[in-house]
Amino acid sequence: MSGLTSSANADSGRTVISVDAMGGDRGPAAVVAGISLSAKKNPDISFILHGPEDKLRRLVAKKRNLEGRVEFRDAPDVASMDAKPTQVMRQGKTTSMWSAIDSVRNGEASACVSCGNTGALMMLSVVRLRKLPGVNRPAIAVLWPSRNPQGFNIMLDVGADISADEKDLLQYALMGASYARNGMELTRPRVGLLNVGTEEFKGRPELKTAHDLIEKNAENANFDFVGFVEGTDIPGDKADVIVTDGFTGNVALKTGEGTASLIGARLREAFKYSPLSRLAALMAYTSLNRLNKRIDPRRVNGGVFLGLNGTVVKGHGSSDATGVSAAVKLATKLGQSGFSERLAARVASAVSLPQDDPTSTTDDNK
């Protein structure tokens, strides 16, 4: 350990975020620039930065607002983007990713942020932090731009596991609702189950069973179940939380990202088509800029790993400073809300339900 001590961070009254400085495609410079942005916006956070200490110290020294707010943990190796998760598990103890997760495991930080290899991060998180009692499959939850007043919907799972049975989908609904309450301050979130149609007779057998399980647990778990929803409802205003399996969720996520990128490119082409269209773009600059901010994926960067004994936020691999800052903001909000403990209580209340009676009551509203 070097730099600030953990106790110094704690004594400052700040929320401590553990950051994998070497994760992502843009390297540590983008990560340090991102935490610098976060530090400017929020004086109540400090960081434990993991990676080659000498290199990180030089980068941090260039950011005056980070003075006294960063603790360094020397981790000489990197879990590369193309590394197999099993390889990182066997040989990754000296990587920045492993070190960053262990700071949460050891109680030194409220949450971990990494833009690194998703598979490796999930496997390390499960092994080092362990799953919450009763959780079969952790899930990755993301924020999706929507027409709802809060501006975003939550969708899970988007790739932690390619399959999910009816009990997994029930747990996703419980975890997603808890995330909506603590991360988006929705008192009673609406939960929808993604299907090929809204009719109750449609879908695979496990979806129909999950529909009944979620419906029976909704009142006691303090959320409203709106039933089956379709792909068009993911960015809509029918539900606040969209529940699905990891295969379907990941395909939907990548399709949405690709479509947003295509629309952006086509708009830029259209406004460059002629002098008149360029003039129109200039006149509409303020509105276009506002639209860009609302749909910019960097500003909602961060998939949360749910179902673990600790909070881990996965940033996009190509995250720049804005993206890293957004992931840190999300991690900070969840850390300050005591989200991990509340999620554990929520899952425990469901796990304690008798198998033949999924409607037992609980007093926990988080």
pLDDT band at 184 (very low <50, low <70, confident <90, very high): confident
Of the two residues 299 and 286, the one the predictor is more confident about is: 286
- Residue 3, helix vs strand vs coil: strand
pLDDT at 5 over 90: no
Give residue 356's pLDDT: 43
Domain annotation covers residue 20: yes
Distance between CA atoms of residues 304 and 285, nearest Å: 34
Domain annotation covers residue 336: yes
Domain annotation covers residue 333: yes
Distance between CA atoms of residues 125 and 325, nearest Å: 21
Domain annotation covers residue 223: no
Domain annotation covers residue 73: yes
State pLDDT tens for residues 196-229.
888 877 888 889 999 999 999 898 888 999 999 9
127: Cβ–Cβ under 8 A, 6 or more apart, which residues? 89
Q: How many residues does the chain have?
A: 366
Give residue 96's pLDDT: 94
CB 311 within 8 A of CB 111: yes
What's the CATH number where 322 sits?
Answer: 3.40.50.10950
Give residue 199's pLDDT: 82
Mean per-residue pLDDT, 20-38: 92
Mean per-residue pLDDT, 321-342: 87
The closest alpha carbon to 301, from 291, 311, 314, belongs to 314
- Please report, rounded to a whole number, the percentage of residues in the chain having pLDDT higher than 70: 87
Give CA separation, 127 vs 45, 99, 105, 288, 340, in Å: 27, 13, 10, 45, 17
Buried b (16+ CB within 10 A) or exposed e, 331-365: bbbbbebebbebbbbbbebbeebeeeebeeebeee
- The total of structural domains in the chain comes to 1
Domain annotation covers residue 63: yes
Domain annotation covers residue 257: no
Of the two residues 276 and 240, the one the predictor is more confident about is: 240
Least confident of 283-292, 312-321, 353-362: 353-362
pLDDT band at 292 (very low <50, low <70, confident <90, very high): low
Give residue 290's pLDDT: 66
Domain that holds residue 55: 1-132+307-354
Angle at 256 between CA 315 and CA 312, to 5 degrees: 20
DSSP string, 307-343: SBSSEEEE--TT--HHHHHHHHHHHHHHHHTTHHHHH
Domain annotation covers residue 115: yes
DSSP string, 183-222: HH--SS-EEEEE-S-SSTT-S-HHHHHHHHHHHHHTTTTT
pLDDT band at 352 (very low <50, low <70, confident <90, very high): very low
Helix 321-336 with 28-41: angle, nearest 10 deg: 50
**Which two structure tokens, joined as six digits, stand for 104?**
């949460």
Torsion of CA 74, 138, 140, 167, to 10 degrees: 180
State pLDDT tens for residues 317-330.
888 898 899 899 98
Give residue 47's pLDDT: 97
pTM above 0.75, yes or no: yes
Least confident of 108-122, 244-258, 268-282: 268-282
Mean per-residue pLDDT, 145-169: 89
pLDDT band at 269 (very low <50, low <70, confident <90, very high): confident
Of the two residues 54 and 300, the one the predictor is more confident about is: 54
44: Cβ–Cβ under 8 A, 6 or more apart, which residues? 13, 14, 15, 332, 336
pLDDT at 177 over 80: yes
